[in-house]
């Protein structure tokens, strides 16, 4: 989005600047004046909304103004010049109307070269709304491999996979917390306790929060799933679905069963999540040096740790039917097999409705009509998984440390653009699947919202939501947490996020929902809860082969 300063009362100048003639433009003069008044006051979201309403009413000139004012791809737009015959405004001190600064090109690892990505286009709703999807059923998933899943269950809850042996996958993905950790941004290695009670502790005490909210694990074993992580940095190669693209290359030397197995390789190499800080242990040292592959790399060292434990060594030998050391891809496949089975949600009221087994409650039914109709939610939350598996900029407030360091020194999270290196992907994140969404808060990639209604209100109008956002993040105590909300006052960063959200909004119809309609949508989201799945299938073991204390 590009903004330019507008002087008081200069409707004529603005019209001239965007190439419109006064006789035609005056048909919408009052609304245009309101839009310009909003820009003068710095309320660009209101100006945007007015122009969108005019555009949707069929005013082609409003569309042209939106193109020139908000969506110009030029490096900058010059201030408007007076129209012929209009005297210039008196000379004044320069005004300071908001101007989006073109974002720097993300600084990325050379390994992260642009990918051969297939661009998906969100479906456009027909006049009568979107069609309902098919229900999820067991055929949507790979068959349970119970022996492998049982090995994976032990590994999921065993701190042996963390550098300091103090945290497991289950620490941030607790079954009792619907596969999350109940907080906006968690503390990984170097902390004790669970959820909001977790605190940094010990000789390797955590100094930094995990940069993103722990995502729920529901239905990550679906056959049709092809995007993992909120930025999609692990995904099948569109030219070869059996090959996985990852931050460490395609991993062709591994025998990985699924994209979920490929994803499972990466949390153990993250300093904040599981590896720890350099100097604390050999895994952390290797990961910090980007030494990941080979026997001396982080993955090889972790596999050797597991192989040294007789119960794991024997279990993998029995599973594969051959003697040999435990490999890191076998560990990843076992973790994926457990997650696929333990966190499968297919028996929700909505799925029973789709299978014609039971009716929805009235409020949920009204919410479903909105979801697949007026509200347009199914434009992105489409298909049986309720996700287009694409990436959209929804203007989420920047909470916590962020994942990338900008040239100007502040941290931020640029989302998909860190993977693709494409400016159009700035601040875009994966469309989440929605089974059990009502019980997996806080919501958003940074966990900025602890109230589902507030999240939905923001989602309907992201740019306006950014302007009114008041912190409501749920955060464990951390001694140095002075920067948790600092980025909310960084106008350069906030302008970039607003601009990305406005570009995304331009691709969909403007939606206005009242409080009752938002309530109906919330009722429908609750109808996506699989109560039986929340109770678990295998559950946590009573102990793990390493003998370490369970961290769940």
CA dihedral sign of residues 330, 335, 339, 342:
positive
The whole-number pLDDT of residue 339 equals: 98
Share of the chain above pLDDT 70, in %: 75
Kindly indicate the confidence band of residue 63, based on its pLDDT and cuts at 50, 70 and 90: low
Taking the CA atoms of residue 443, residue 102, residue 419 and residue 401 in that order, the dihedral angle to the nearest 10 degrees is -50
Q: Report whether 421 contacts 105 (CB < 8 A).
A: yes
pLDDT for 138-191, tens place per residue?
Answer: 999 999 999 999 999 999 999 999 999 999 999 999 999 999 999 999 999 999
For residue 102, pLDDT beyond 90? no
DSSP state of 90: P
Inform me whether the pLDDT recorded for 264 exceeds 60.
Answer: yes
Q: What is the structure's pLDDT at 46?
A: 63
Q: Please tell me the class of the 141-343 domain.
A: mainly alpha
Provide DSSP, 231-259. T--BEEETTEEEEEE-TT---TTS--SSH
Torsion of CA 267, 273, 274, 280, to 10 degrees: 130
User: Residues with Cβ < 8 Å from 409, sequence gap 6 or more?
Assistant: none
* CA 291 centroid distance within chain: 28
Dist. CA 291–CA 241, nearest whole Å: 27
Distance of CA 208 to the CA centre of its chain: 20
**Segment 28-46, tens digit of pLDDT:** 455 666 677 666 665 665 6
Residues of the chain with CATH 1.10.760.10: 141-343, 349-533
Per-residue pLDDT at 255 exceeds 90: yes
% of the chain beyond a pLDDT of 90:
69
Q: Are strands 429-430 and 199-200 parallel, antiparallel or unpaired?
A: unpaired
pLDDT of residue 231: 97
Superfamily of domain 349-533: Cytochrome c-like domain (1.10.760.10)
Tokens of 96: 């300071």
Q: Quick one: the chain helix, strand, coil %, rounded to 5? A: 40, 5, 55
Q: Which of 118-122, 193-197, 223-227, 475-479 has the lowest mean pLDDT?
A: 118-122
Q: Average pLDDT of 534-548?
A: 96
Strands 235-237 and 240-245: antiparallel
Helices and strands per DSSP (H, E), number in the chain: 20, 8
pLDDT in the model for residue 516: 96
């Amino acid at each position: 989005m590009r903004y330019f300063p507008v002087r008081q009362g200069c409707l004529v100048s603005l019209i001239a600047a965007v190439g419109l003639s006064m006789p035609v433009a005056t048909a919408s003069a009052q609304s245009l004046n309101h839009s310009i008044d909003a820009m003068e006051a710095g309320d660009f979201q209101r100006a945007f909304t007015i122009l969108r309403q005019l555009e949707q009413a069929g005013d082609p000139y409003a569309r042209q103004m939106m193109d020139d004012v908000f969506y110009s791809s030029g490096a900058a737009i010059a201030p408007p010049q007076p129209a012929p015959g209009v005297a210039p405004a008196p000379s004044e001190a320069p005004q300071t109307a908001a101007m989006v600064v073109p974002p720097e090109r993300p600084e990325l690892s050379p390994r992260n070269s642009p990918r051969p990505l297939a661009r998906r286009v969100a479906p456009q709703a027909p006049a009568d709304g979107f069609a309902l999807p098919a229900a999820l059923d067991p055929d949507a998933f790979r068959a349970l491999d119970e022996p492998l899943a049982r090995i994976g269950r032990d590994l999921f809850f065993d701190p042996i996979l963390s550098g300091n042996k103090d945290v497991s996958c289950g620490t941030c993905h607790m079954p009792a917390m619907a596969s999350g950790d109940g907080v906006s941004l968690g503390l990984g290695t170097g902390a004790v306790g669970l959820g909001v009670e977790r605190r940094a502790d010990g000789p390797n005490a955590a100094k930094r929060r995990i940069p993103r909210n722990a995502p729920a694990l529901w239905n990550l074993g679906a056959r049709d799933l092809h995007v993992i992580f909120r930025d999609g940095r692990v995904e099948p190669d569109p030219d070869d679905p059996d090959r996985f693209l990852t931050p460490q290359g395609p991993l062709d030397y591994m025998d990985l069963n699924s994209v979920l197995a490929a994803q499972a390789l990466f949390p153990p190499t993250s300093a904040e999540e599981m590896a720890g800080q350099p100097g604390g242990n050999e895994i952390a040292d290797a990961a910090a040096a980007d030494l990941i592959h080979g026997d001396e790399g982080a993955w090889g060292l972790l596999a050797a740790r597991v192989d040294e434990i007789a119960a794991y060594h024997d279990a993998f030998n029995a599973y594969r039917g051959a003697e040999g050391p435990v490999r890191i891809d076998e560990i990843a496949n076992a973790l994926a097999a457990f997650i696929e089975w333990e966190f499968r949600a297919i028996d929700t009221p909505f799925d029973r409705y789709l299978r014609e087994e039971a009716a929805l409650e009235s409020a949920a039914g009204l919410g479903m009509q909105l979801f697949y109709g007026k509200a347009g939610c199914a434009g992105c939350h489409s298909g049986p998984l309720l996700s287009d598996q694409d990436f959209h900029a929804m203007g989420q407030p920047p909470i916590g440390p962020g994942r990338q360091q900008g040239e100007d020194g502040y941290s931020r999270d640029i989302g998909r653009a860190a993977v693709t290196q494409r400016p159009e992907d700035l601040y875009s994140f994966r469309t989440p699947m929605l089974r059990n969404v009502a019980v997996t808060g806080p919501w958003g990639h940074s966990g900025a919202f602890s109230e589902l209604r507030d999240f939905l209100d923001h989602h309907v109008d992201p740019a306006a939501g950014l302007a009114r956002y008041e912190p409501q993040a749920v955060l464990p105590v951390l001694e140095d947490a002075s920067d948790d909300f600092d980025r909310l006052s960084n106008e350069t960063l906030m302008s970039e996020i607003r601009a990305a959200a406005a570009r995304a909004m331009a691709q969909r119809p403007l939606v206005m929902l009242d409080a009752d309609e938002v309530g109906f949508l919330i009722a429908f989201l609750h109808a996506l809860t699989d109560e039986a799945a929340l109770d678990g299938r295998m559950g946590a073991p009573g102990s793990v082969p390493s003998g370490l204390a369970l961290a769940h």
